[in-house]
Structure formats: C-alpha cells, structure tokens
A and B are shown apart, each in its own frame.
Chain A
Amino acid sequence: VQLVQSGAEVKKPGASVKVSCQASGYSFTSFGISWVRQAPGQGLEWMGWVRPHSGKTDYAQKVQGRVTMTADTSTTTAYMELRSLRSDDTGIYYCARDTGNYYGSGSYFNDYWGQGTLVTVSS
C-alpha cells in the first residue's frame, strides 16, 4: 500500500490550493481517504474524509465551506482543495487511508499515510 502526495506549494492569502494523493497497492474503492493537517510545531487536525466508491464526503466544521474533497477512481487519486487561504492554513497536509466505517458504524483508523505536503500561505 502506498499513498504518494503532490509537492510543496506556496500560495498567497485568498488563493486556493489543490493537493493530490495517488493510492496504489489496494482496492481504492474498498476504503476511505481522510485528510489530516498539522500546523508548524502543532498537533494533528482531522479535516474530513471522502468515500471513493460513492464520492460521499464529510468535513470538519472549521474548514466547512472552504474545502472540497474528491476521489477519481479511474486514476485512484484523491484530492483536497482548500480555498480562501489564510496564514493559519500553513502546515503539512496528509492523506491517510481509512477503514470507511464512519459515524461509529465500526472500527475507524488511519493505517497508511502519505508523506505529507507542505502548504505555505504567505504574502
């Protein structure tokens, strides 16, 4: 199993960024993809998830309205787009495979992670 993310990005405040996460080594539609970010020197923050087989998404309240997560089953690639960037969006963005069991319907955990993508928001 491998998750390979796109490269580092530098954006100005107000711009958008789109991070990709190419999955391989497993059945892409049998699992979910979660996105987690980490501000410099800070802890982990769940941003949301996408179910590739249905496209269904849920987002954390903090980024709701600014984020869109999608999955392309033909290329086994997940995407996370964040709009109206602010300086406090600076950090490392990770994609992670999840079990696809949401809302307490079964075990949920992130067993494989991408290498992370550094997004820097600066004027």
Chain B
Amino acid sequence: DIQMTQSPSSLSASVGDRVTITCQASQDIVDYLNWYQQKPGKAPKLLIYDASNLQTGVPSRFSGSGSGTDFTLTISSLQPEDIATYYCQQYDNFPTFGPGTKVDIK
C-alpha cells in the first residue's frame, strides 16, 4: 500500500498569511493526488484534484502543486473560514488519505 505523510500536523497562522501544507507519498504517484478540506462536524470538501486543478467553486486563494512523491497545498491569504483540517488523498490503484493537517488562526 502507498503511505502518505503530511506536514505539519498542525499550524497556527494569522489572517492574511500564506500557508503551505506538504504531502509526501511513499512511491511515485505521478499527479494522482487530491486535497480535501474538512470543517468540524462536516463532510470533507474537494478543493484540488490531480495535484493542481482547482475544483469548481473553490476560492482561487487555494492552489496545489507537485508531482511524483512531493506535493503542496497553498493558501495564499488565510481567511477565518479556512479553519479546518486538510487531507491529501492519493489514488494510484486504491486510495489512501494522509493523516491530516489542522489549521488554526493565531
């Protein structure tokens, strides 16, 4: 099975800050990588698919990059409504999720 790691596990940032979350796969997954946002008590929401494609309706401050084993989710200007846990998901063969990154406001 492909293992996913995320860093950091949690972070605190100020409104307007640029926030970067990284996701690493245990083997080459090309660009088979999605990002989800989950707010407390809610279902996950798709943000980015295929490493860098913004899902319809998602604010443009969210962006994704990377290929192979190393991927990044960037929030260009953190907003209060971005408080959530973020998960990466690989889908090379069967899907697996990363452990999540919890984002708080400082």
Residues of A within 8 A of B (CB): 34, 36, 43-46, 58, 60-61, 94, 96, 103-104, 107-111, 113-116
Contacts and interface: CB of A to CB of B under 8 A. Distances in A.
B97 A43 contact: yes
B66 interface: no
B32 to A, nearest CB: 6
Contacts of A109: 34, 46, 49-50, 55, 89, 91
Contacts of A115: 43
B1 A61 contact: yes
A50 to B, nearest CB: 14
A58 B43 CA distance: 22
- Range of interface residues on B (Cβ < 8 Å): 20 to 34
A34 B95 CA distance: 10
A40 to B, nearest CB: 12
Interface string B20-38: 0000000000001010101
A44 B44 contact: yes
B65 interface: no
A96 B87 CA distance: 15
Contacts of A45: 97
A38 to B, nearest CB: 9
Contacts of B94: 46, 58, 60
Nearest to B38: A44
B34 A116 contact: no
5 contacts: A36-B44, A60-B94, A96-B44, A103-B93, A111-B46
Contacts of A107: 49-50
Contacts of A104: 32, 91-93
